[in-house]
Amino acid sequence: MSLADASLDIRDGELLAVVGENGAGKTSLMNVLYGLYQPDGGQLSLGGKPARFKSPRDAIARGIGMVHQHFMLVPTLTVAENVVLGREPTRRGLFDLERAVSEVAATCARFGFQLEPRARVDTLSVGSQQKVEIVKALHRGAQVLVLDEPTAVLTPQESDELAHVMRGLVAQGRTVVLISHKLREVLGVADRIAVMRRGRVVAEVRPAETTVEKLAALMVGEGHPALGMAASGRAREPSSGMGLETNTPPPGDMLAARPASRPSVDPTANTAGELLLEARGLQALADSGRPALRGVDLTVRAGEIVGIAGVDGNGQRELAEVLTGLRPLTSGEGTLLGGPLAGLTPARARERGVGHVPEDRLLRAVVKALTVEENVALGRHTRPPFARGTWIDFPGRRERTRDLLAAYDVRPPDPTAFLRSLSGGNQQKVVVARELDARPKLLVVVQPTRGLDIGAVAQVHAKLREAREQGAGVLLVSLDLEEVLKLSDRVYVFFEGRVTGHFTRPQYDERELGRRMLGAGTDHA
């Protein structure tokens, strides 16, 4: 159930932003609007008349276009072929490529896009691919253009350009619906903002009448029972059975977790000790084969949280992979927990005491089709209490899992449940529990709270602080600058595979940090 009685008006010629937490139903609502999903109840009307979209074909016919978060382009076809697909120009029954190229070129020119119609899509940059998506919708005569999280994958420059494009479309009389959770960005560009929470539209506001803080409060809900940091000693509800998600967060102080209000800095935090990681001139390639790290120097000491800030795609992900043995270095050297960084494998990294909370939970951190206890054992399955020699230690594994599920308040606390039956937040708690239980000396954490509800976020943050207080070094990579600043004792700013800034608490200057994230402080910025 991702939509529960959601109502939304979209007005002609406006730029409407729809904001909400992950899972609030933004994308589902738009998919209903676009005919991809059929609503179980309720009504859709367009221009005052009821409309029923059985498939995207109907929606397209009524002038609705959608740019999906994950691009819907056929990589092996050209720009022109992608744009005209489904309404191909023909001559005597044959596909008329020349006319397709000229039509697409005309559309591009009309809306001011720079695209080569004959280029194969898989040769284009992400920003250009997004333009192809927009052209695709406009080419179909879209009057209403829906963009789902369009800036998630863009560089800041590309984001600015996109904002310009969106305003331009509205100026031409078209309607743009922007789905986002980046509140600051939304405030800068939208005419009107709709806030969604748990499948409903809970508020509609104008940017002039609101602030980031107010929007955030609307997103999580006023009077929302708030959250605590640690889970110890709290009575838990009885298990609600497999697959049922209990959405009630534990009681506590919600203000502590609200993204906009930063808690006061813990004065005892920065008692950094032994050098755990020292890296000089790290270089590595991205999956695409292009350089992702271009000479990174950094250190992490015991007892500190080191944050990595940066816009997505500037090498942070690859750094985490290098440190956990998943990605080979092409150059540079370093010492990680007493051993060389070169030639590191995931197994060696774990042996030395590196813990890892990966970014893509379902792909990298857990195996959905294994049970919770098997997932807890994953990576430590060769050691007590999970194994005795060659054999799996079933009682030991069960007991340790039960303890961890209780300590981290995972619901349901059933070690034999399949992991896929847990909610995202509970899955992430299992991952954090597993990694911290191994008592890592260095913990590499990437986007640890993405997609989690606010209760789980607070709990994960508390556990990271706890790890630091117990003497671990934590390297925190997050695209959420608030999160980085809230937790970190020191922050490295990444831009295009280089460190462009280094800040130590409490000298955090957000404006300066932002400038460094956009490349200021480097020669070519």
# binding residues, other proteins (CB under 8 A)? 62
**Count of C-beta atoms within a 10 Å radius of residue 65:** 25
Is the peptide bond preceding residue 385 cis, with omega within 30 degrees of 0?
yes
Exactly one of 70, 290, 511, 524 binds other proteins (CB under 8 A); that residue is: 70
Q: How far is the CB of 356 from other proteins (least distance, A)?
A: 7
Closest CA to 170 of 192, 203, 148, 195: 192
**93 near other proteins, rule: CB under 8 A:** yes
**184 near other proteins, rule: CB under 8 A:** no
Q: How far is the CB of 471 from other proteins (least distance, A)?
A: 23
Exactly one of 88, 204, 245, 278 binds other proteins (CB under 8 A); that residue is: 88
By beta-carbon proximity to other proteins, the closer residue of 35 and 315 is 35
**What b/e readout covers 107-120, taking b as 16+ CB neighbours within 10 angstroms?**
bbeebebebbbeee
Q: How far is the CB of 370 from other proteins (least distance, A)?
A: 6
By beta-carbon proximity to other proteins, the closer residue of 235 and 369 is 369
Which range binds other proteins by CB under 8 A, 62-70, 177-185, 282-290, 488-496? 62-70
d(CA 253, CA 458): 10
By beta-carbon proximity to other proteins, the closer residue of 86 and 251 is 86
Residue 102 makes CB contacts below 8 A (sequence gap 6+) with none
Which range binds other proteins by CB under 8 A, 53-61, 152-160, 209-217, 254-262? 53-61
**390 near other proteins, rule: CB under 8 A:** yes
**504 near other proteins, rule: CB under 8 A:** no
Residue 474 makes CB contacts below 8 A (sequence gap 6+) with 300, 304, 305, 306, 442, 443, 445, 464, 467, 468
Which range binds other proteins by CB under 8 A, 112-120, 170-178, 185-193, 378-386? 378-386
By beta-carbon proximity to other proteins, the closer residue of 90 and 271 is 90
**356 near other proteins, rule: CB under 8 A:** yes
**74 near other proteins, rule: CB under 8 A:** yes
Tokens representing residue 492 in the block: 């490295």
Exactly one of 8, 51, 119, 392 binds other proteins (CB under 8 A); that residue is: 392
Residues 6-45: x/- map of binding to other proteins (CB under 8 A)? ----------------------------xxxx--------
Residues 309-328: x/- map of binding to other proteins (CB under 8 A)? ---------------xxx--
Residue 434 makes CB contacts below 8 A (sequence gap 6+) with 375, 376, 378, 379, 380, 404
**77 near other proteins, rule: CB under 8 A:** yes
Exactly one of 318, 373, 374, 483 binds other proteins (CB under 8 A); that residue is: 374
By beta-carbon proximity to other proteins, the closer residue of 53 and 503 is 53
d(CA 365, CA 381): 14
**382 near other proteins, rule: CB under 8 A:** yes
Which range binds other proteins by CB under 8 A, 10-18, 74-82, 112-120, 498-506? 74-82
Closest CA to 167 of 193, 185, 189, 151: 189
Q: How far is the CB of 71 from other proteins (least distance, A)?
A: 8
DSSP 242-307: TTPPP-PPPSS-GGGG-TTSPPPP-TT-----SEEEEEEEEEEE-TTSSEEEEEEEEEEETT-EEE
Q: Number of C-alpha atoms within 13 angstroms, CB side, residue 47? A: 6
**59 near other proteins, rule: CB under 8 A:** yes
Do the bridges between strand 391-392 and strand 275-285 make them parallel or antiparallel, or are there none, so unpaired? unpaired
Q: In angstroms, what CA-CA distances link 51 with 43, 54, 201?
A: 8, 10, 20
d(CA 186, CA 151): 11
**94 near other proteins, rule: CB under 8 A:** yes
**What b/e readout covers 12-21, taking b as 16+ CB neighbours within 10 angstroms?**
eeebbbbbbb
d(CA 123, CA 36): 28
**237 near other proteins, rule: CB under 8 A:** no
d(CA 505, CA 268): 12
Please, are residues 146 and 64 in contact by the beta-carbon 8 Å criterion? yes
Which range binds other proteins by CB under 8 A, 83-91, 214-222, 233-241, 279-287? 83-91
d(CA 390, CA 28): 48
> Which uninterrupted H or E stretch holds 95?
strand 94-95
Exactly one of 331, 345, 470, 522 binds other proteins (CB under 8 A); that residue is: 345
**Count of C-beta atoms within a 10 Å radius of residue 43:** 9
Q: How far is the CB of 312 from other proteins (least distance, A)?
A: 18
**139 near other proteins, rule: CB under 8 A:** no
**117 near other proteins, rule: CB under 8 A:** no
- Positions 413 through 442 that interact with other proteins (CB under 8 A): 418
Q: How far is the CB of 194 from other proteins (least distance, A)?
A: 23
Tokens representing residue 167 in the block: 């305003």
d(CA 315, CA 305): 19
**293 near other proteins, rule: CB under 8 A:** no
Q: How far is the CB of 285 from other proteins (least distance, A)?
A: 18
Which range binds other proteins by CB under 8 A, 57-65, 195-203, 215-223, 310-318? 57-65
**What b/e readout covers 383-392, taking b as 16+ CB neighbours within 10 angstroms?**
eeebbeeeee
**381 near other proteins, rule: CB under 8 A:** yes
Which stretches of the chain bind other proteins, using CB under 8 A?
Answer: 34-37, 55-61, 66, 68-70, 72-77, 81-82, 85-86, 88, 90, 93-95, 136, 324-326, 345-351, 356, 358, 363-370, 374, 377-379, 381-382, 387, 390-392, 418
